[in-house]
Structure 1
Amino acid sequence: MLFTLLAFAIALGSLIIFHEFGHYWVARLCGVRVLRFSLGFGRVVLRRIDKHGTEWAISALPLGGYVKMQDDAPPGAPAAEAAGAFNAQPVGKRIAIVLAGPVFNLLLAVLLYTGLNLAGTEEPQAILAQPAAGTPAAQAGLAQGDRILSIDGQEVASWTDARWRLLDVLSTGGRVRVEVAAPSGAAHERELVLPPNDMAPGGEDPLAAAGIRLAQPRPVVRSVIEGGEGQAAGLRQGDRIVAADGQPATDTGELVRLIRESAGRHMSLSVQREGALVTVGVTPRAEKVDGREIGRLGVQLGADIPRVTVSYGLGESLQRAAARTWDTAWFSLRMMGRMVLGEVSWRNVSGPVTIADYAGQTARIGIVAYIAYIALISISLGVLNLLPIPMLDGGHLLYYLVEIVRGSPPPERWIGIGQRAGLGILVALMGLALFNDFTRLFT
C-alpha cells in the first residue's frame, strides 16, 4: 500500500507541478507578476522569495501544487506594477498563459515517449494466436502464427504497437487492412471488419472478443517444487509440454486452467526433453483454495514469448512520440464524445483510486512501464484541462473566445452562473469516478 501511494504521489504530483510550471513560465514571459509557486497545498512549510518577488514555497500536503498570479493591481499602484497584473493583459496573452499548462502536459508526454523510443524497449512480437471460430479475425482469414507486419499501410514494430492501432479502430468500429506474414514466410493482406465496442471495464478484452490475441508458445517447466506431484511423476526443469491428454498444449494459461480443473484425475502429458518426446503420467493434487477444490502439480510453468527490441534514432523517436501523443489525446476525446452519446460505458471514467492502483502496478513492473504510464496520465490531464468547462483551463479559454467575439469580457453574471455550473459538473464527474473506483475495488 505504501509503495502504491508513493508511486501515485510521484506520478500525479510531478505532472501537476509540470502543468503549473507551464502557467508560471509563460506568465513570466508575458510580464505578469507571479506571487507564489507552491509545491503542495495547505500550510507553507518552507519558503524563499526570489528577486522578482515570487514566493517559492513547499506546503504541508505534498500532492501537486499551484501558481498564484496577481490578478488586479492594488488601488493607487504605480503604472509599472499595474501593468504586471494578469487581468490587465491583452486577451492574447491571457490565452497563452492559460493554454500553457495543458500544452506543457502534452509536451511532457512527447519528451517521455521520445526517451523511451531512444532507450529502446523489449516488447512481444505481434504473432497471433488461433482466432475463435466466427470472430472477425477468423472471418478475415487470420490464423495461428501470423505475424502482423503493418496496419493500414503503417509498419507495426511489436504487439504493443499493433494492439494500440487496432484498439483505436475498435473504439468506433470500421474496416482495417492488416498485412501479415504466415509461419511459412508468405505475406498476405487481410481485411478486418471490427464492430464498435463499448470498452466496458471488467468485461472481456475487446481485442480478444474480436479474435485477436497474442500467441502463447508451448508451456515450459521453469522449476519443480520439492515433494510435489510433478516431481513424483518425473517432470524436470526445462521440459516443454507439447500436449495434455492428447490435446496440443499451445497456451500456458489454458494448460494451467486444465490442471486446476483436473484435481485428483490422472493426466497424460507429452513433453519434449533433450530432443526426445516423453510421456509423463501425473495426477494433480487436490487442494482447497477460497472454498473451491483445484488441482496443483507442484511445478512452475512459463512460456518464452518471442520478443523484439524496439528503438529509434532521435528524429524518428521524436516524430513517433508526437504522433503517439496526438493519437492518444484524440482517442481520449473520441471516447468522451461516445460516452456522452451513450455508445461507450461511463464505467470507463476512473478516479484517484484507480490511477493510484495502476501507478503502483506499473512501478512494480519496471521503470519503462511506469514512465509510459506517467506519459499517458499527462496526456489525460492535458486533455481534461482543455475541456470547455468553467473552473478548468478550457473554461477560461471559452470566456476569452467570448470576449474576442463580443469585444468585451462576458458579464459577471454569466461568469458566476458558468462557475457554479462548472463546479457542479466537476463534482458529478468526481462522484462518478469514485463510484467506479470503489465498484472495481470491491467487485
Structure 2
Amino acid sequence: MNLLIELLAFAVAIGVLVVVHEYGHYSVARLCGVKVLRFSIGFGKPLFQWVSPKTGTEWTIAALPLGGYVKMLDERETGTAPIPADELPHAFNRQSVWRRFAIVAAGPVANFLLAIVLFALVFASGVTEPAAVLAAPAPNTPAAVAGFEGGETIVAVRVGRADDSEPVRSWSDLRWKLLGAAFDQKRIVLSAKDAHGVSDFPLDLRAISEKDVDDDFMSRLGFEPGGGKLMVAGVQPGSAAQRAGLVAGDRLRAINGTPTDNAATFIAYVKSHAGQPVTLQVERGGQGAQAAGKLEDISIVPQAQRDPATGQQIGRIGAELATQVPSIDVRYGPIESLQLGARRTWDLAVYSVRMFGRMIVGEASLKNLSGPVTIADYAGKSARLGPSAFLSFLALVSISLGVLNLLPIPVLDGGHLLYYLVEAVTGKVVSDRWQLVFQRAGLACIVALSAIALFNDLARLIHF
C-alpha cells in the first residue's frame, strides 16, 4: 500500500511540475506569435494525441512520463520540409533575441510562480507547527552565549539596530529567519518571552560561514525545540535503560540536575558520558507500576559503544525517545500569504544556488544530490502527512526544477539563455559548431549529475 501511495504521489508531482514548466514555454511562445507544433508530456511512443483545430498544436501524452517538451516551428529542424514563406514570421529562430530569451526563461519562471502559489495556499489554509520554544542550549553555543537558558518563546527578530522587528510565529518561521541571517552573516536581536516578561537577546551570526549552513545549523547554533515532554517510547532488552528500571511511558524531567525537554540535547549529553553514572529525574506514568505524576531519581550508566561514523566511544542507554512539543496553528491572510510564499520561494531558490555552488567548489558533499527514488520516497511520505505537507513538498521540488533548469549548462534552459546573452552582447549568434561542442559537454555533465543522484538514492535505500 505504501509503495502504491509513493508511486501515485510521485506521478502526480512529476506530472504537475512538467505540465506547468512546459506550459510556461508554450504560453509565452504563443504570446510572441511563435507556432507550437507539439506539446508533449513524456517521451517515446505516444499513448494519447489530440490536435487543436484552432492552433494546430499536437497535444501528446507519451509512454515515458519523466519530462516533456514543446516543439516549435524552427528552420533549423533537419529532415523536415521547407517552411512556407507565410509561416516564416512564426518560426522560433526568426524571433528577436529577447523574445527567444523570454520563451526559454518562461519554463523555470512558471515553476517559481507555481511554488509561490502552493506556499500561499499552505499559509492561507493554516498549518499546525511546533511553537518557537527553546530547549536549554548546549554550553558555548551562540544561543548559550546570547543568554538563553531554555523555556523561552521567541516572539520577534530584528536585524542589527533596526527599529522594525518581524514577528516569529512558529519554529519553522524562526528557522527560516535564522537561515537568512546566517547566510548574510548578520547580527540580529531575538525578542523572547518567559515567565518574567519579554527580553532581548543579541545573536552574532557574522562568524557563521556558508559551509556551516546545512540541515544541522540550528543545532550548531544551540537552538532546539523545547517546552514539551520528553518521553520514553520503548526500552531495548538487556540495555542500560532496562537494567536501571526505565519503562515505556516514563517522562524524563532532568539529567544530572539539568532540566531536559528535547531528545537531541538529551542524546548528546548521554553520548558524552560513556561509562559514567548519570542521574535521571523521571516522572512515572504509562506502563509503570508506580502512580502517575510521582518523581523518582534513577541512576544509570550509559554503555560505551564505538560510533561507526567517528570511531569514538560514545554512551548509549538503549531507550527509544519521543518528544511531545507544544504546537501552534499558523494561518495568514491572502495578501500576506502571497508575500510569504514569494519570500519562501526566493529564500529556497537562493539556498539551492548557494548549495550547488558549494558542491562545485568542494565545500559541500555531493551526497546532497537526490534523484527520482528519493523524490518518490518523500512524495509518498508527504502525501501520507496530509495536503499541506504534500503541497509544500511539491513547491520545494518545483523550485529545485526551476533552479536546475536555469543552470548555465548546455541542453538545459540556462544553457540556451547563456547563448542568447552572448548574442545580445556581441550581436552574433553562437555558431552551430560551438553549440554542438557545448551540447556534448553539457550532456556529459547531466549524465554525471544523474549518476551521482541515482547512486545517492541507492545508498540511502540500502544504507551503505
TM-score range, shorter chain: 0.7 to 0.9
| Contact 1:217/1:252 (8 A) holds in 2 | no
SS at match of 1:123: strand
Task: Calculate the TM-score normalised by the size of structure 2.
Answer: 0.79
- Contact 1:20-1:101 at 8 Å conserved across structures: yes
Distance in 2 separating the partners of 1:374 and 1:439: 24
Letter of the aligned partner of 1:24 in structure 2? Y
Task: Give the CA deviation at 1:421.
Answer: 1.7
1:217 to 225, 228, 238: 228
On the 8 A contact 2:146/2:201 being kept in 1, the answer is no
Cα RMSD (Å): 3.7
What is the CA distance between 1:133 and its match in structure 2?
Answer: 0.7
Equivalent residue number for residue 339 of structure 1: 359
The aligned runs of 1:41-440 (5 Å cut-off) are 41-51=43-53, 52-72=55-75, 77-151=83-157, 152=159, 153-171=165-183, 173-193=185-205, 195-196=208-209, 198=211, 205-219=216-230, 242=253, 248=259, 250-251=261-262, 270-271=282-283, 277=294, 279=296, 303-440=323-460
Letter in 2 for 1:397: L
Alpha-carbon distance in 1 for matches of 2:90, 2:212: 48
The alpha-carbon deviation at position 37 of structure 1 amounts to 1.3
What is the rounded CA distance, in whole Å, between the counterparts of 1:190 and 1:436 in structure 2? 40
Q: Distance in 1 between matches of 2:325 and 2:209?
A: 30
**C-alpha displacement at 1:301, in angstroms?**
7.2
Q: 1:330–1:268: structure 2 CA closer, same or farther, 3 Å change rule?
A: closer
TM-score, normalised via structure 1 length: 0.82
C-alpha deviation, 1:36, in angstroms: 1.4
Structure 2 Cα separation of the partners of residues 439 and 359 of structure 1: 18
Match of 2:27 in 1: 25
**Which residue type is aligned with residue 26 of structure 2?**
Y
Q: Deviations over 1:139-166 (max 9, x none)?
A: 1212201222223332211100111222
The amino acid across from 1:368 in the alignment is S
Deviation at 1:88, TM superposition (A): 1.6
- State the AA in 1 paired with 2:349: A
Secondary structure in 1 aligned to 2:197? Answer: coil
Partner of 2:237: none
Cα distance per residue 1:12-36 (max 9 Å; x no partner)? 2311121001111111112211111
Separation in 2, partners of 1:133, 1:296: 25
User: What is the CA–CA distance in structure 2 between the aligned matches of 1:144 and 1:131, rounded to whole Å?
Assistant: 7
Unaligned runs of 5+ in 1: 224-228, 284-293
The alpha carbon displacement at 1:129 in A equals 0.7
> Are the aligned partners of 1:200 and 1:345 in contact in 2 as well (CA < 8 Å)?
no
Identity of aligned residues (%): 45
Q: Report the counterpart of residue 4 of structure 2 in structure 1.
A: 2
Q: Is the alpha carbon distance of 1:176 and 1:12 closer, same or farther for their aligned partners in structure 2, counting shifts above 3 Å?
A: farther
How far the C-alpha of 1:50 sits from its partner, in A, is 0.8
Whether the aligned pair in 1 keeps the contact of 2:18 and 2:41 (CA below 8 Å) is no
